[in-house]
């Protein structure tokens, strides 16, 4: 019983941490875009680690969005080609 409660609380904390990280990445991506630079401060290693993790998230999100955009452009071109083929075949 206590173990199940502990696992439930642990899952809730993990979900909150993931949600907070996602919000930090989205906020940074929206405000600074992909030009965000990693800044290291030897006197504050925890903040530097946080900035590094957020920068990695921004970089990953930007790369994912670029790949998704490229895939959607290919699908859009293919859809247009199929539409032209159908119209050409139907009119003949």
* Structural domain for 40, as ranges: 2-91
- Report DSSP state, residue 83: H
- Tell me which H or E stretch contains 18: helix 2-32
Number of domains forming the structure of the chain: 1
Q: Contact at 8 Å (CB) between 51 and 29?
A: no
Q: Quick check: pTM over 0.75?
A: no
pLDDT of 8 higher than 80:
yes
DSSP string, 34-69: GG------TT-HHHHHHHHHHHHHHHHHHHHHHHHH
Give the Cα separation of 23 and 15 in Å (integer).
12
Stretch among 36-40, 41-45, 62-66 having the lowest mean pLDDT: 36-40
Q: Contact at 8 Å (CB) between 55 and 36?
A: yes
Confidence of residue 23 (pLDDT cuts 50, 70, 90): very high
């Amino acid at each position: 019983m206590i173990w199940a409660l502990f696992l439930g609380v642990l899952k809730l904390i993990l979900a909150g941490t993931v949600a907070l990280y996602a919000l930090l990445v989205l906020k940074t991506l929206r405000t600074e875009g992909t030009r965000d630079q990693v800044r290291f401060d030897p006197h504050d290693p925890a903040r530097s680690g946080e900035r590094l993790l957020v920068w990695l998230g921004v970089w990953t999100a930007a790369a994912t969005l670029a790949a998704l955009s490229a895939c959607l452009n290919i699908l859009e071109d293919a859809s247009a080609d199929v539409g032209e083929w159908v119209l050409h075949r139907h009119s003949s």
